Amino acid sequence: MRFAVFLSLAVTASAAANVSISDPFEQWHGPKAGDVRGPCPFLNTFANHGFLPRSGKYITHKDLADGLLNAVNFDANISAFLFDFARSTNPQPNSTWFSLDHLSRHNVLEHDASLSRVDAYHGHADIFNQEAFDETRSHWGDTVDVQSGTAAIIARINTCKVTNPAYSLSALGEGFIWGETAAFISILGDAETITVEKRRVEYLFQNERLPTELGWKRPETQFTIDVLTRNLLAVRAEYWKQLNTTSSLRRQSEGYAARLSGGRARLHY
């Protein structure tokens, strides 16, 4: 009897050990020489945990669908939709795979005014940039929501417009910007209230690691195209609202400036 108890304890202990040894949430390794990473902090993170090929290379539809399902509970339709975007960045036409660094090809999907990368004019989008990210997170409170997430987007756009003579943002790039903020809030936080603790987001961007040690768990509810669209539209609405407010403020201050300089001009002549 005592032996049976011992055996069952031993089996349980070894099963627990196996779980943690094979649990990809625990198995984080940064890229090694020859591996590639790209401009997407989340896909880089999934590769660092082994949810995607650790090399970051030759990612197939199945790799992506399995990886996104296991890491963050994405449904099959959203993975198929994202895979089509991803493979469009492979310089080889009609390819059945992509590598993370393909995503950095400027103005295919990668765009200016990123939250954590410099513009292509200034450097490489594969590399996290602390200064850019510090500007982004200075607009977030302890909780990131639609309002503060959007304020950060607009701040980065304004900075990049004045510091990058080659600045551009296509309609697709703008759509990606809304989607990226909607997605990071929904996946690391609450997709219903569209809020997330700032420290989880900082942790992921800065370490390219899932914030399990901060209490984050893989979402129990599947992330679908419908949820992404709903939350993206919330960010888009806030974006237009804030842009209209800032541009009407700008128009007002330009009006004051014109009146002032007109006045000065009258004084001089």
* Interacting residues toward Mg ion by CB under 5 A: 110, 114, 117, 125
103 binds ligand HEM (CB under 6 A): yes
d(CA 154, CA 148): 10
How remote is the C-alpha of 201 from its chain's centroid? 9
In angstroms, give the least distance from the CB of 245 to ligand HEM.
23
Please, what is the minimum distance in Å from the beta carbon of residue 39 to ligand HEM? 4
> Interaction with ligand HEM in 185-204: which residues (CB under 6 A)?
187
For residues 120 and 159, what is the distance between their CA atoms, to the nearest angstrom?
14
Distance, CA of 269 to CA of 266 (rounded, Å): 5
**Closest Cα to residue 41, out of 71, 78, 73, 81?**
71
> For ligand HEM, what does the binding mask look like between residues 21 and 50, x meaning CB under 6 A?
------------------xxxxx-------
Q: Which of 47, 52, 69, 183 binds ligand HEM (CB under 6 A)?
A: 183
Which CB sits closer to ligand HEM, 35 or 182? Answer: 182
Q: How many residues bind ligand HEM (CB under 6 A)?
A: 24
| Region for residue 104 given its phi and psi (left: phi exceeds 0; alpha: psi -120 to 50; beta: otherwise) | alpha
> In the chain, where does DSSP find H-type helix?
2-22, 41-49, 61-72, 76-87, 130-137, 146-163, 171-188, 198-207, 225-268
CB 155 → Mg ion: shortest distance, Å?
15
Which region among 17-25, 110-118, 159-167, 235-243 touches ligand HEM (by CB under 6 A)?
Answer: 110-118
Strand partners of residue 106? 110
Closest of 172, 165, 150 to residue 243, by C-alpha: 150
The reply on whether position 121 binds ligand HEM by CB under 6 A is no
Among 25, 85, 121, 167, the residue binding ligand HEM under the rule CB under 6 A is 85
d(CA 170, CA 191): 27
Both tokens assigned to 75:
């449904």
Near ligand HEM by CB under 6 A: residue from 110, 126, 197, 208: 110
Q: Sketch the per residue contact string, 46 through 65, with ligand HEM: x for CB under 6 A, - otherwise.
A: ------------------x-
Contact residues: ligand HEM, CB under 6 A: 39-43, 64, 82-83, 85-86, 103, 109-111, 114-117, 125, 176, 180, 183-184, 187
